[in-house]
Structure 1
Amino acid sequence: MTERNPNSHHEIAEFANNAFLDQSFPKQSQEYDELSRYLEFNASYLPTMTIFDEAWEMYLDKTN
């Protein structure tokens, strides 16, 4: 959610914006598998899981 930016067309910002608007997205989860599963089955706004993987790596870098 920290990558949200409604004025950006960067794919990670767009993903974060859409995930924020997705009422069912597990925003409080810190589990890669839970988030990945959710996105694979429910996130038509995510064109490729590579975007999520990049965002996840950024998240890990910030939390470690």
Structure 2
Amino acid sequence: MTKTFYQFLMTQRNPESYDPIAEFANNAFFDQSFPKQSTDFNEISKYLELNAGYLPSMTIFDDTWQKYLETNTHA
């Protein structure tokens, strides 16, 4: 079964890390409105552009999405 993007993102959490993806995951964890059930790039991207002041660059999302795709391809 394919993980949602949020499920994948939560595997990247690390409160001790300053890695941009880990910080994205840490902040998304506290975002009550994050589209947790979505696997759709456009839906998540639009949400983040409009609502995620904690994400300093959409490039971080793009990089994380690529890792998500690679994980689901090999699952």
> Which range, TM-score by smaller chain?
over 0.9
* Amino acid in the other structure paired with 2:59: T
Deviations 1:8-50 (Å, cap 9, x if unpaired)?
1100000011011100001221000000000000000000000
Counterparts of 1:1-64 in structure 2, within 5 Å, are 1-64=10-73
Structure ranking higher on relative contact order (CA contacts 8 Å, 6+ apart) = 2
Greater than 3 Å deviation, 4+ residue runs: none
Q: Percent identity, please.
A: 64
| Structure 2 residue ranges without an equivalent (≥5) | 1-9
For the pair shown, the structure with the greater C-alpha radius of gyration is 2
